[in-house]
Each structure stands twice: as structure tokens, then as C-alpha cells.
Chains A and B, each alone.
Chain A
Amino acid sequence: MPSNSEYQENKLVALASIAAELQMVMSVAWGVSLAAKNAKVISAQAGDKGLGFQPITEFIDEISRQAMTGVEDINREALRLSKITVNEQRSADAFRRFDLVRKKNTDAQYIKSMQSAMEQVENTLFKNTQEFKKSLSDLSLQMEAMKQCMLSARAIASVSRIVTSNAQEYSDKLKVVADDLDQAAIYIKDKLLDSYTHLNNVNVQGRLN
């Protein structure tokens, strides 16, 4: 079982890893957004042949926007969790040292005067822990929403492939857009899975401690 300080360090590493995993997602989502704009131009050029694809480009654009906003939100929450973890670590360290003073100096004339400071640190520690739990739950929800968004993206990619087959000479170009969307959704989903693993480590270790 890891010690409390190891657990705190692992938490910081896990949260930094989530932010790092999702950093690339942002550029992929941005790439999808550009592809959606490109698809709009192609379907406009295709005229009647691209009619079926035009509403889908709106969906792709919306999905990429949701992905970018989602990543920003997740990163913000991960950063918040890191800050809470640092505060938690500082309070826990102070409490440990105060406790050491109390145990080793039972003969000190004014040892009882520490009581108020100890209670305050204990309260802060409790608040930090509660705040951490809430923020962790928010992060899980945000990641779940992102996962759903990627499932939608894959569904849209499948529909797109069917629709592009009616676009005749434009179908290859539009198929590329559908494939790009599908690959981006798979990539983002994989990154989310990696992030889930880091998040689970935080949760599991938290329960062990």
C-alpha cells in the first residue's frame, strides 16, 4: 500500500497525465473542425449530388466543437484537482508535523496552545478532501460526456459513408472526411480510455488509503 505522500504524488502525476493525454485531443478536434469546413465547401460544389452530405457537415462541425470544449473543461477540472491535491498535501504535511510536536513534547508547558491550530488544519484537510471528491466526480462526468460525444461521432461517420456513395465524383473526397472523423473519434476514445486508467488509479489508491 502506498504511503500518504506517495499517494499524493501519484495523484499529481495521474492528473498531469490526464492533461497530457488530452493535449493531443485538442489538435485532433481542431483538425476535424477544419475537415468539416472543407466538407461544407465540397458538398456546396457538388450541388444536388452533395445534398445528403450537407446536414452531416453541420453535425461534424458540432461534434468537433463539443470535443474542443470538452477537452478544455476536462483540462480545467484536472488542473483544479491538481491544486486541491497540493493544498491537501500541504495540510496533511502540517497536520503530521503538528502531531509530531504534540506527541514528542508532552512535557512542554504550553503544548495545549497548539490545539486550535491543529483543529484548523484538520478542518482544512477535511474540506480539501471533500472538495477533491466532488471535483473528481465532476471530472468523471465530463469524461463520460466526452465518450458519448465520440460514440455519436462514430455513428455520424458510418452514416456519412453511406451518404457519400450517392455523391458520384465527389464521393471519394467526402469519404475522406468521413474516414477522418471516424479515425479522430477512435483516437479521442483511446485517449479517454488512457485518461480513465489514470483516474481509476487515483480512485483506487484513494480507497486504499
Chain B
Amino acid sequence: MQSTKIYDQEHQWFMFGRDPEKPESIIDTNQYMIVAGKRALLMDPGGIEVFAPMLGAILHHAKVDEITDLFASHQDPDIISSLGLWDQALPHAKLHSPWLWEGFLRHFGMNNIEYIPIPDEGSMLNLGSVELEFIPAHYLHSSGNFHVYDKKAKILMSGDVGAALEATDSPLFVEDFDEHVPKMKMFHQRWMPSNRAKNDWVKRARELDIEYMAPQHGRIFKGDDVGKFLDWFEVLEVGLAISEDE
């Protein structure tokens, strides 16, 4: 699994993904980690199938006992079905995830890790030298859903928002926004159920100073492309699986 440092100042952001050994039948995912001194936060650590390459990649950058916190934006298997394995690798860690999903996520097997429920309005996480914000993104696409905002690094980990379905050898960053649109259009129209929720999120995202928008699938948006994405997403009709006459 590839690992790329996308921010490197007092604390660091790593992106993991583009695993060439990943079984073809499972969707490609991006995992992220923030390392701040002796503490690290693992975000949307992925499914069971990516656990071993993911842990292997992490160990190039952090010790196991330095991974003190996990974050799951929502309950999907590609986000956190590896929880039962992390539970045995990081028995003293804390999992930050929507309060809504606690009883559901425990089905993945969680006997050791402590669940820290994030309230609907969001919350803050102090990770040593860095303060992180859990930003509400409900119904995008899950009914209980959060993103992670790092004000200092100006990075928004945006979960499924901004996701694109692409091959595992695609570039890490969006290079041409217009060319990228077809790769993410269907994903957003089909997976995102609510225009109201979408516009509520866009309004919230516009208030943040974002240099990098890092989704869980596909490529990272940087600089002007973040604004282009927000403009594109704002006018996109979502929830299209329901036909008009219904």
C-alpha cells in the first residue's frame, strides 16, 4: 500500500491507498493518519481486506502504541469493518464516531477500544499539538456522518464527499477538475440522498479555510479545485434513484 505525506509541519498528515495487491472486487479506499508527536489519529481505517497492508504502511511512520485515536466517519464496511482487528492491535485506543452508530459498529467486534460518541452538532479532539474538529456531514451519505477539519493544516478529510470511482493506479491529486467531474458525478448523485443536506454541508464547508479536501475514494482536491468542487456540488441534483413521478 502506498503512503504519501500530504502535510509536513509541526504535525503530519499521511494518505494511504492505491494498494496494487487489493482484491479487484473491492472498492479502492483512501485512509488517512495525522501524527502529532507521540499521538496519532487514524481516519476511516478501512475494511478487513486492507487491514494488513494498512498496518504495515503505518508502521513506517508511527509505533503501534502511538495510534491513540481512531475516527470512523460513518458505519460502512469499507470505512471500519476492520474494527475487530484494530481492537486487538490497539486495545487502548479510542474510537470517535457518530453516536448514532455505536450499537451498530460494535457488531464488528469491539471489546477493548473505547467508543467516544460524537454528538450530532460535532465536537473537538485535542491530539496533543493539534486541535481537530469533527464537522457534521449528516446524510452525506450516511444518516450519522462527520468529516475531520484541521484548521492549522487547512485540510478537510471529507469522507465520501468528493469521492470518485477510479483505478488503483490513478494520481493522488485532481489535476484537471473538468476531466475529473465524470468520475464523481454518478457517485454523488446515487450515494447522496438529500439536496437539503448537501446544501447545508456546502454552506458549512464554505466557512472553512480549506487548502486540501481529502475524500475517502479517488483524488485529493487542492487549492482552487476545492472551491470548484463546492460550486459543482452545490448545483448538483442528488438522490436520483427515486424517479420523478414518485
Which residues of A approach B to under 8 Å, CB–CB? 90-91, 93-94, 97-98, 100-101, 104-105, 108-111, 113-114, 116-117, 120-121, 124
**Nearest Cβ on chain B to A97's Cβ, whole angstroms:** 5
Question: For the complex, what is the distance from the CA of A113 to the CA of B64, rounded to whole Å?
Answer: 6
Q: Is B56 an interface residue (CB 8 A)?
A: yes
What B residues does A101 contact at CB under 8 A? 52, 55-56, 59
Assess the B59–A108 pair: CB atoms within 8 A: yes
SS class, residues of chain B in contact with chain A: helix
* B202 interfacial by beta-carbon distance below 8 Å: no
Q: Would A120 and B88 count as touching, CB distance under 8 A?
A: yes
How many A-B pairs fall under 8 Å by CB? 59
A108 and B89: CB pair below 8 A? Answer: no
Known: A110-B62, A111-B59. 6 other contacts (CB 8 A): A91-B88, A100-B56, A101-B52, A108-B56, A116-B64, A120-B88
Residue pairs across A and B with Cβ atoms less than 8 A apart, 24 shown, are A90-B88, A94-B84, A94-B85, A94-B88, A97-B52, A97-B85, A98-B55, A104-B52, A104-B56, A105-B60, A108-B59, A110-B59, A110-B60, A110-B62, A111-B59, A113-B59, A113-B63, A113-B65, A113-B66, A114-B59, A114-B64, A116-B65, A120-B91, A121-B88
B65 to chain A: closest residue by CB: A113
Nearest residue, chain B, Cβ from A102: B56
CB-CB contacts below 8 Å: B20-68 with A: 51-52, 55-56, 59-66
Query: In the assembly, what is the distance between CA of A157 and CA of B52, in Å?
Result: 62
Chain A neighbourhood of B66, CB < 8 A: 113
Q: Which residues of B contact A (CB under 8 A)?
A: 51-52, 55-56, 59-66, 84-85, 88-91, 109
When distances are taken between beta carbons in the complex, the residues of chain B under 8 Å from A110 are 59-64
Please state if A97 and B59 are interface contacts (CB–CB under 8 Å): no
A100 to B144, CA, bound (A): 34
A114 neighbours in B (Cβ, 8 Å): 55, 59, 64, 89
Instruction: State A90–B61 Cα separation when bound (angstroms).
Output: 27
Given A90-B109, A110-B64, A116-B65, the answer on whether A98 and B89 have CB atoms closer than 8 Å is: yes
Check B84 against A90 for contact (C-beta < 8 Å): yes
Docked complex Cα distance between A94 and B66 (Å): 19
B52 and A117 form a contact (CB under 8 A): no
Nearest CB to that of A107 among chain B residues?
Answer: B60
State the Cβ distance, A88 to closest chain B Cβ, in Å. 13
Contact A117 B56, CB 8 Å, known A90-B109, A110-B62: no
Write the chain A residue with the least CB distance to B56.
Answer: A105
CB-CB under 8 A from B60, the residues of chain A are 105, 108-110
Give chain A residues whose Cβ lies under 8 Å from the Cβ of B90. Answer: 117
Contact partners of B63 in chain A: CB under 8 A:
110, 113
Chain A residues whose C-beta falls within 8 Å of the C-beta of B91 in the assembled complex: 117, 120
Considering only CB atoms, which chain A residue lies closest to B82 in the complex?
Answer: A97
Contact A93 B85 (CB under 8 A): yes
Closest 10 CB pairs of A and B: A113-B63, A108-B59, A105-B56, A113-B64, A94-B88, A110-B63, A97-B52, A100-B52, A101-B56, A110-B59
- Bound form: Cα–Cα A98–B51 in Å: 9
